[in-house]
Amino acid sequence: MSRDEAVARSGLRHVLWSRLWIYFALIFCGGIWGLVPTLAKSAVSDGAHPFGLTWWQAVGGGTMVLLISLARGKRLPLDRQHIGFYAFCGVAGTIMPTLALFYSAHHVSAGIVAVLMASVAIAAYPLSIVFGIDRLQPLRVLGLCLGLAGVTMLILPAAGIGAGDPLWIMIALLIPFGYAAENVFVAIKSPRQTNTTTLVAGMLLMGGVMITPVVIATDTWHPITWPLNEAELAVIGIFVINVLSYVLFLALIYAAGPVFASMSGYFSVLTGIVWGMVLLGEDHGAWFWAALLSMLAGMALVRERAVHRRAEKP
């Protein structure tokens, strides 16, 4: 074999392994994120309070991301601009959706929660129009309508899908709405000079600081002790999954672009349903599957517009 042939084969192997890694990361990212609703149900069913669980998600996840940021030589800015940014995102992107997740998980199937968690693009589109960072487009408006139709099919009491109280399904809608509000705010107000990993650490930790007085006042802090019980394993699992999926998602954006990376949302929906069926024995009727198809079609048509902060490695 000539030297040129050896170089060509080596390059081909590199390309193949790179593509395999990208697809593995896509499936793995969606797969582990889809496990969150099932773990949330496990945590609240074992007696842990949503306030205490939310504190752990903010402080535990924020500490992990901060350590990653510090390992990369990035310090956490604490000037007035950054603190204000952390505060809004801590409420909209950490406290509100996490509380909604844990409160609704006790009353709504994991499959429903998984569908709603992945519908951030549908919730973000009208907000983006209101704040002038996006515009009306016929196909995306159709996607919004399909998404709303899917949500309506999940909420209607007459649907008979056996997935939970419609009121709690509406509360679960605060999950995508909170993340959508955070995404729009980040697109408008994100401090451009600060890298994304550091900003996420600040958002999570600020959420932890803000909910701490509530946790103390309500005596709802949940200690993590050894040996770990089911709730504690679920708590640790969720914030580890959040950090892993975040890092992998950034890696996918850097390696394959935001459009390809966004496909992980579809995997998280499907795996979230599967995890609930396998681990919790959930069963879904025809209305649920019709709603799911409508939501997936809506997600595909709306698809968030990519707002690039800058090209950086995660």
Structural domain for 165, as ranges: 47-302
Q: Do the Cβ atoms of 89 and 265 come closer than 8 Å?
A: no
> What digits encode the pLDDT tens for the residues 12-52?
455 555 677 777 777 777 778 888 888 888 888 777 789 98
What is the rounded distance in angstroms from the CA atom of residue 68 to the CA atom of residue 198? 9
In this structure, is residue 35 part of a structural domain?
Answer: no
Q: Do the Cβ atoms of 101 and 113 come closer than 8 Å?
A: yes
In this structure, is residue 309 part of a structural domain?
Answer: no
> Would you state the structure tokens that stand for residue 273, as one six-digit string?
């349903």
Domain count, the chain: 1
In this structure, is residue 73 part of a structural domain?
Answer: yes
Give the distance, in angstroms, between the CA of residue 143 and the centroid of all CA atoms in the same chain: 20
pTM: 0.80
Q: What is the pLDDT along the chain (314 residues), one digit of tens a residue?
A: 555 444 445 554 555 556 777 777 777 777 788 888 888 888 887 777 899 889 988 998 899 889 988 998 888 999 999 999 999 999 998 899 999 999 988 888 888 888 888 787 778 888 888 887 778 888 888 888 888 888 888 777 544 544 557 788 889 889 888 888 887 888 788 787 888 888 889 999 999 999 999 999 999 887 777 787 777 888 888 888 877 777 777 666 666 655 566 667 777 888 888 888 888 888 887 778 888 888 888 877 876 444 444 334 34
In this structure, is residue 91 part of a structural domain?
Answer: yes
In this structure, is residue 15 part of a structural domain?
Answer: no
**Phi then psi for 73, rounded to 5 degrees?**
80, 20
In this structure, is residue 226 part of a structural domain?
Answer: yes
What is the rounded distance in angstroms from the CA atom of residue 307 to the CA atom of residue 102? 30
In this structure, is residue 38 part of a structural domain?
Answer: no
Residues 6+ apart with CB under 8 A from 286: none
In this structure, is residue 224 part of a structural domain?
Answer: yes
What is the rounded distance in angstroms from the CA atom of residue 49 to the CA atom of residue 124? 29
What is the rounded distance in angstroms from the CA atom of residue 36 to the CA atom of residue 110? 9
What is the rounded distance in angstroms from the CA atom of residue 157 to the CA atom of residue 135? 34
What is the rounded distance in angstroms from the CA atom of residue 52 to the CA atom of residue 122? 30
What is the rounded distance in angstroms from the CA atom of residue 80 to the CA atom of residue 93? 19
